A and B are shown apart, each in its own frame.
Chain A
Amino acid sequence: MNYSLITLELLAVLLGLAVLVADLWVSPSARRALGLGLSAALACLLAFAVGSLAPQSGSAFADMFVVDDLARYFKGFFLFAGLAVVLMAADFAPKFGAGLSEFFALTVFALVGMLFAASANDLVLLFVSLELITVTFYVLNSFQRTRLASLEAGVKYLILGGVSSAFMVFGIALIFGTANSTNLGVLASKQKELGQSALFLVGLLLVLVGLGFKIAAVPFQMWAPDVYQGSPAPATAFLAVGSKAAGFVLLIRLLVGAVPQITAEWHRLFVVMSGATILYGSLCAIPQRNLKRLMGYSSIANAGYLLLGIVAGSAAGSTAVLYYLGGYAFTVLAAFTVISAIANHVESDDIGALSGLGQRSPFLAAGLTMAIVSLAGIPPMAGFFGKVLLFKSVLDAAPGHPELYALIALAVAGVVMSLYYYFGVIRAIYWGGQSSNLSTIPVALPTRIVLMACLAGMLVLGVFPQGLVKIADHAVTSLTHKAAPTPAKAAH
């Protein structure tokens, strides 16, 4: 048994506990410094995770936990997101009132859940890591206890999250009942027989319900707008980036890694899901006036675009998903950094509250504009090449599947619609309405650093995509290579 594989997760758990303990001695005024210390520690973890000292590939705990290139990719991804969220929260502190250290600790525990999710090779670990993420988010979402909207967000997330978890457990039980195992490798080796069993297919479908909830895909999307709007901005950012990516890494491990044949048979289901998600997110975003709610709908639409990569059902599709998520992380974190910085000075998340931002803080204005441009998929930002890869992967698979052409047409329509609502934000920043208050908005150094890092990430990924494409390609190869020899082993 190779326990060293979970070094990273152990360190992260210890870090979370250390924050909780440190809270006993740190005076309330110094809690912001605690956040800065925590982010420094997370930066060290990030360096460890992507550096050469990181655990080598392998699996542990009866093949429940794997470390491969895919896991490593997402671990780096989650650690960066966690780091950015902690820094964001440190500057958001005045809005929390009490309990800043708990916010930090919970963020780290959610991060641990995501790190485990990246390595989950068993439905049980998949479920436990997802629960760890979901339960911490129940608290994180309702962290502004005095704000009704925040409490509402927490309750909505709690109820719908609970329901989706129940579906998932039921699904896992059915899968275990038919396959006699919850290990993804075993499922992969038996998928031919299992594909014949209706009970197994129902179980798989129920697991997909749980994952669909995490990624906010239609028809499990209804929580997203309310929760995005009500939660404190740093929590929303983590939800939008970390939680969604955790859903996708599990989706990829399950659908692409374990049961690719069934995924191919269910092709139409994913086509419909992806198309409906894009259409719903784009159409509903059009009339929105609240920026965080708009981001909620935009996150639904983006889940639809990401599902295009699953629809493609190819390695190219999964690579596109990974690349798109990489760019999406920088983009959404940049957007929420600005939103959270503004929220400290303007008592509103309305798009109208952005008016005059171009004068009040050219830096924040430029940052939000670049993030919006990337979300809209316009070069030279990362979002552009991500969409190109996704569209290309679907068109690659299209010959012989006329429904894919319809899906592409729908996706194009979604992009055009998205331009309308995204550019409405740009309009508000530069010329929408007359703002009476033109005082400058000060930007604290940590926020400035996060924003700069995200903008640099977006630009570099957009202008030089080769690096990340290669890494994503390796990550996907590590998954499909592992999946391929398993049936041969089972035949012996």
Chain B
Amino acid sequence: MDSLTPVILTPVFAAILLLMIPGNYRVVLRTLAILGSALTAWTAVSLFSRFHPGQAALQFESLVPWVTVGPLNVAYHVGADGLNIGLILATGLVGFAAVLVSWNIERHVKLFYVLLMLIIAGAMGAFASLDLIFFYFFNELALVPTFIMIGVWGRGEDRNWAAFKITLYLTLGALTALVGLVAFYVAAGANSLDVTVLKAHLAAHPLPAVAQTWIFPLVVFGFATLVGLFPFHSWAPVGYAAAPTATAMMHAGILKKAGLYAILRMAVPLMPDGAHRWLPVVAFLAIGNLLHCAWVALRQKDMNLLIGNSSLAHMGFAFLGVASLTVIGVTGTVLLMVAHALLAGLSFALSGYLETQTGTLDMTRLGGLLRRMPFYGTALVMGFMAGCGLPGFANFAGEATILFGSWKSLPGLVVIAAWSGLVIGAVAMLRALRAVLHGPERPEFARVADTGAWRRLPFVVLLGALLIFGLAPGLLTSRIEPAAKAVVAAHLKPSEAEAPSAVAPGSAPATATAPAHTDAHSGH
């Protein structure tokens, strides 16, 4: 009964329903989209609350065979564990908020909501999938909607260029990873691309270290491009700045995390030798995110570019946590992914609202808005403070955990991360707040209005979630930790964890039965 399927199919059905309604019934279209995303969000929240913390096993699993080609079995296999349950929740919330902030879309309303629903469905499916082909399938589902949305409803003169840039980068990254995954499948000699099957198969037939060292970079750098790892990051800020608010929220908040999620789900646990060899390189490049992107963010005058660049800087933290290969570091990474999903969604929602009111995001032309927009200003202060890593918001919990987790293995990087992420980032955020909210009131913004009751809902939802997870990060960490242990299981020293010993009896029968299986196979 309990399955992740409804959370994927609800937005798909909403999109199909939207397609059937004539394009000029705008109120009906908007209502239906809001209801569809609200239902999705509610399903995600209820799944999150029913998830049993402290278990490493998959929950809400369902498996439907999809296609068999020769020896290859591809199955629709979805399931939740600590790695994805938080992201599914965040996707539901940010998706709901993204639909809510799209009230000012006037052209092609129907097409807009259909595409937005497809993006939500793709993100949900990507996080839920345990089969590599399906992960790719759902992840790419969002590509075309993104392209069309940036082109049709996008902002700025450069949106044509930005649309192509984001599409080409994302495809190159995803395809590189796909080739790596298929090569991995061939090298492993398994008969499935299902992560759970592959794990069991690898326990019996470990992949040679040589194969791992050349497949791992394909997969990791492919997926890291989707996240915006330096130096594959330049698509992100321009893409977000050109995208309509809802698309920027979904992309910066949610879809970007799919790359990190895939690294944690597939690359690191399946290829421990490759991870050991290549993750230091990733950590080194993450300095680029932490220093370069933070510095670039500091220099921005456009608020969207500021948010885009600082969000890339935060991704540096996430990569640092992955590269630490410790339970604490990975737990912190997942926590930060959830927190940053909510924060990036919130930030772009805030900047989008500001643009509808003032007509500009150029911070040199803004100022003195706190007096005119007290609620909005408060939300902006809270959001940007969360971005600085203020305790009380979930981002602080994530970043602090990552810094603790990586102190032992990467002390030099931690110092850099602390400096850049926490200091340069804070300076950038505070300067933006000063430029937008403080200073003398400007006569041209005399007609600017604060958010009405309904318009506050998306901000309240996202800020509320950030505060809840900030004040009680245990809600997330208790769910994440067992999964994080499984991710880095191969790298734990025996003294460090009881978890591997708990896993070992389970894997022993698999080793015993595996030769029998190969015999049966060769007998054909």
Contacts and interface: CB of A to CB of B under 8 A. Distances in A.
Q: Do A and B bind each other?
A: yes
B417 to A, nearest CB: 32
Q: How large is the interface on B (under 10, 10 to 19, 20 to 34, 35 or more residues)?
A: 35 or more
A275 to B, nearest CB: 15
Given A415-B175, A416-B175, A419-B168, A378 B70 contact: no
A466 B68 contact: yes
Given A427-B151, A430-B152, A380 B182 contact: no
Residue in A316, A362, A380, A388 whose Cβ sees the most chain B Cβ within 10 Å: A388
Interface string B169-187: 0011001101100110111
Interface string A387-417: 0110110011011000000001100100110
Contact of A469 (B69, B160, B176, B187): B69
A464 B137 CA distance: 13
A373 B68 CA distance: 24
A423 B23 contact: no
A389 B69 contact: yes
B70 A315 contact: yes
B140 A473 contact: no
A412 B151 contact: no
A427 B151 CA distance: 7
B369 to A, nearest CB: 32
A465 B183 CA distance: 22
Nearest to B72: A392
A430 B159 CA distance: 13
A48 interface: no
Interface in A353-381: 358, 362, 369, 373, 378-380
Contacts of B168: 416, 419-420
B133 A388 contact: yes
A399 B186 contact: yes
Nearest to B138: A379
Given A362-B23, A420-B168, A379 B136 contact: yes
Contacts of B167: 419, 423
B186 A395 contact: yes
A415 B179 CA distance: 12
Given A396-B186, A399-B186, A430-B152, A378 B179 contact: no
A416 B140 CA distance: 13
Interface in B138-192: 138, 140-141, 143-144, 147-148, 151-152, 160, 163-164, 167-168, 171-172, 175-176, 178-179, 182-183, 185-187
Given A431-B151, A469-B67, A412 B163 contact: no
A319 interface: yes
A176 B136 CA distance: 49
B69 A319 contact: yes
B108 interface: yes
Contact of B148 (A379, A384, A398, A430): A430
Contacts of A396: 186
Contact of A427 (B67, B72, B163, B187): B163
Interface in A305-353: 315-316, 319
B123 to A, nearest CB: 14
Nearest to B69: A469
A102 to B, nearest CB: 41
Central interface residue in B66, B68, B69, by most chain A CB within 10 Å: B69
A457 to B, nearest CB: 16
A450 interface: no
Contacts of B172: 412, 416
B17 to A, nearest CB: 16
Interface in B181-214: 182-183, 185-187
B182 A391 contact: yes
A378 B186 contact: no
Contacts of B133: 388
A391 B179 contact: yes
Given A415-B175, A416-B171, A395 B182 contact: yes
Nearest to B137: A379
Given A416-B168, A427-B160, A431-B152, A379 B69 contact: no
15 contacts: A369-B148, A378-B140, A379-B137, A380-B141, A385-B67, A392-B69, A395-B179, A412-B176, A416-B172, A419-B167, A423-B163, A426-B144, A427-B163, A430-B151, A431-B151
| Interface pairs A-B: 8 shortest CB-CB | A379-B137, A466-B67, A431-B151, A395-B186, A465-B67, A412-B175, A416-B172, A379-B140
Interface of B: 23, 66-70, 72, 108, 111, 133, 136-138, 140-141, 143-144, 147-148, 151-152, 160, 163-164, 167-168, 171-172, 175-176, 178-179, 182-183, 185-187
Given A362-B23, A412-B176, 10 more contacts: A378-B143, A379-B137, A379-B140, A392-B72, A392-B185, A392-B186, A412-B175, A416-B171, A419-B167, A426-B147
